[in-house]
Structure 1
Amino acid sequence: MSFDTLSAQEVIEAVARSGVQKGNMRLDKVFLSSVSAGCLLAFACGTALSTNASPWYSDNAAGLIRTISALVFPYGLCMIILTGADLFTGSFMYTTVAVLQRKLPWWKMLIHWAVTFLWNLAGSLFMVGIIFDGGFFDADPFKSAVSTFATKKQVTPDFRMIFLRGIGCNWLVCLACFFGMQGRDLASKIMGIWWPIFAFVSLGFDHVVANMTFIPLGIWVDTPGITVGLYIWKGIIPTLLGNIIGGGLFCGTYYWYMYLLDIKTLPIPGRTKSASDTEVPTPEGMSVKNGDIEANAGIPNQV
């Protein structure tokens, strides 16, 4: 069995190019792309909550029901990556690598972060206030599942615990983005995305964009003890800080240091598939083998 994949160095080169593309994207496109990402991830959050709405399993086989929920949740990130939508937390890896490689100004990185954060939130709140208001979470056991989940996320843990969970979460999420870029066929991309996301959900880590659905939905169904102020203090701030460290430092900076630190230019990633492949011009004025076009076509369309 053979696998058509990029090497780790080729992937981080593609990450840097994608970071440059993201940081220079028109703000109206970033807005639309970010709203889309917030909505798509909210679908997966809703599925995870409905899977958890199993009182007997929650009381008697909590590990099993969490594993099942973790197995279905990754379809959200698959939809985001494969459609090229902009997820706030993925940008921590992409734009950080572009800045470290001196291909993107730091202030453009921060603007991209701010815009994707605000409009991921808008997409998530749209789903909570409009789509999920269709009645699905208004009655038990689904309403109770929302309240229980939100309480475990916000009320029970302290600030430090949520911060540490945020580090682990986006370390894995950015690895999923990395693996999704590493595969050059659809099946490889989906498999690469699936397992790191399964890991973060099964371990109960905290993702700031997922919390944009989980916690506001808990507020929507009147979960006791959860307020907007508490959500900002424990659902956004520690998770956001942890996600930045997990994605920007543990993933983006690490792979940049390992593979790009001493490289001044970014060659187009992709390998020659056969000796007979012909060269074709690229937008940058460089040349690439015909067999490599498949590998390069989706590079800008990553989370």
Structure 2
Amino acid sequence: MAYVVPTEFVTKMVDAGESKLLMSTRDTLIRAYMAGAILALAAAFAVSVNVNSGNPLLGALLFPVGFILLYLMGFDLLTGVFTLVPLAVLDKRPGATWAGVLRNWGLVFCGNFAGALTVAVFMAVIFTFGFSEAPNAIGLKIGTIGESRTVGYAAHGAAGMLTLFIRGVMCNWMVSTGVVAAMMSTSVSGKAIGMWMPVMVFFYMGFEHSIVNMFLFPSGLMLGGKFTIADYMIWNEIPTVLGNLVGGITFVGLTLYSTHYKTAPKRVLG
């Protein structure tokens, strides 16, 4: 599990941001679609574990399997490109522009949403035997999650919105730390361990992940959750996306870039 020092893995971060920024539309969409689908399946798996075992910690311990798989296969989540892609512009890489950053973010959002929605439909079919009967216990739990994390926030007004946003910030602080942690090792086992730890923290703490929510909330609507599409967008997805953006670029991308890539001059002792 060879360790890569910060000056080297932060260079890898900038290189990765440049690569994603210059990627074709087709490849960006395919990779984002698969990332959204795999992470959604991992979320369904974790909720199933929670319901069947009654132990939320067990679900959090196992959820990172989806994140690890999609990363190792080179797929892209919105949370990761929020952190990595702007670094290519900051480093003035050829062809890197803020318009290109926004293009990448938009394409990855659409791909992630399509992938997560596909799995949401599939799982809703499974939980209801093709919508022929009431949802099973796992389906009912997903509906409850959708209610508590939309109208539950709305019930607290501005304080609820602030809490939602901060949970989004904290989420991508952890998730993007997982993305970077994978670059700290040159072995598959080292990458997996590095990703597993912060992703487990985010899931167990109930932080808000925009792509996981692209699965949970559409699923909840299909499974009888008592909230609306407007509730989902206003009181979850949009603030979560903004929180994920701030958390990833501020606490991971910019901090590592500014201290390990653009290091300040050393002090002169005298």
- The TM-score, its normalising length taken from structure 2, stands at 0.89
Larger radius of gyration: 1
Structure 1: runs of 5+ lacking an equivalent: 58-64, 264-303
Shift of 1:46: 0.6
Distance 1:230 1:154 in 2: 6
Partner-residue secondary structure (3-state), 1:124 = helix
Please state how far the C-alpha of 1:42 moved relative to its aligned partner.
0.8
- Uncovered stretches (5+) of structure 2, i.e. residues with no partner: 129-133, 154-159, 265-270
Q: Report the Cα distance in structure 1 between the residues aligned to 2:110 and 2:39, rounded to whole angstroms.
A: 15
Q: Residue 117 in 1 paired to residue 114 in 2?
A: no
Structure 2 partner of 1:80: 70
Is the Cα contact below 8 Å between 1:171 and 1:247 reproduced in 2? yes
- Whether contact under 8 Å (1:38, 1:122) holds in the other structure is yes
Task: Map residues 26-175 of structure 1 onto 2, 5 A cutoff.
Answer: 26-54=24-52, 57=54, 65-103=55-93, 104-129=96-121, 131-136=122-127, 139-157=135-153, 158-175=160-177
* Per-residue deviation, residues 143-197 of structure 1 (Å, max 9, x unmatched): 2211222222222122111100000000000000001111110110100000100
**Percent of aligned pairs with the same residue?**
28
What SS does structure 2 have at the residue aligned with 1:25? coil
Q: Structure 2 CA distance, aligned partners of 1:152 and 1:75? A: 26
Contact kept, 8 Å, 1:52 with 1:145, in 2: the verdict is no
Q: Distance in 1 between matches of 2:8 and 2:197?
A: 21
The answer for the alignment partner of 1:290 in structure 2 is none
Name the aligned partner's letter for residue 121 of structure 1: F
CA distance in 2, matches of 1:77, 1:178: 13
Alpha carbons 1:165, 1:205 under 8 Å: kept: yes
1:41, 1:228 → 2: CA distance? 21
Q: Are positions 1:19 and 2:9 aligned together?
A: no
1:200-219 matches, within 5 Å, as: 200-219=202-221
The answer to whether the Cα contact below 8 Å between 2:15 and 2:88 also exists between their aligned partners in 1 is yes
2:78 partner amino acid: F
Alignment map for 1:195-234 (pairs within 5 Å)? 195-224=197-226, 226-234=227-235
Q: CA deviation at 1:140?
A: 2.6
1:259 Cα offset (Å): 1.3
Task: Indicate the residue corresponding to 2:156 in structure 1.
Answer: none
TM-score by length of 1: 0.80
**Number of equivalent positions:** 251
How much does 1:262 deviate?
5.1
Between structures 1 and 2, the one with greater helix share: 2
How well do the aligned residues superpose, as a CA RMSD in angstroms? 1.5
Name the counterpart of 2:131: none
1:96–1:253: 8 Å Cα contact kept in structure 2?
Answer: no
Partner of 1:76, secondary structure, is helix
- 1:19 is matched by which residue type in structure 2? G
CA distance in 2, matches of 1:8, 1:88: 23
- SS, match of residue 53 in structure 1: helix
Q: Is the 8 A contact 1:53 1:144 kept in 2?
A: no
**C-alpha distance in 2 between matches for 1:76 and 1:91:** 17
Q: In the TM superposition, what are the counterparts of 1:153-302 in structure 2 within 5 Å?
A: 153-157=149-153, 158-224=160-226, 226-261=227-262
